Homo-oligomer: A and B are copies of this chain.
C-alpha cells in the first residue's frame, strides 16, 4: 500500500476517506486536510472475486473496509453521488456495493459526505465538465508523492479532496 506514513501528519489534520464503490473494485483514498493544505496518506483498490457468491463478495468488501478504517481512523468519509445511466443489473450491483460501503463508514461513527460528479470535477480541476484524465492528472498534482493504485483509487482521492475543500469553505463561513 503506497503511504507517506503517519509521521507527516500534524495535529489538527482531518483524515478523510474517499470511496468509489463497486462490487468488482472499490477504490479508496486517504488524505489529511488542514484547511486547504492536503497530504496524501494512502490509496488502493479492494477487489472481490466474481466467482464467489454475492453475499460473500459483500462480506469480503466489508472486512477490507473495516480493516482500513480501524488502521487509519479517518474523521470523515465521502462518496460520489451515483449517476445511474447504465443497465439496471449494473445499477443493482453498484447499489449493493454502495450500501456496504456507506454502512462501513456509518458504523464507524463517520458522517458520509455525498458529492455530485460535477462538483467533484469542479472542485479538483476547476470546471464541472472536466474529463476523467484531467481529474486524474490534477489528483496527482494536488497530492504530490501519491502513487495512485488505479482509476478507482484516483476517483476516491478526488472525492476525498472535494470533501476537504467543502470542509475548508464551510469553516470560512462565519456561523450565526
Contacts and interface: CB of A to CB of B under 8 A. Distances in A.
A36 interface: no
A97 interface: yes
Interface residues of A, number: 30
Interface in A56-81: 56, 58-59, 62
B106 A56 contact: yes
Nearest to A112: B55
A92 B82 contact: yes
A100 interface: yes
Contact of A93 (B53, B95, B107, B114): B95
Contacts of A30: none
Given A59-B107, A106-B58, A91 B100 contact: no
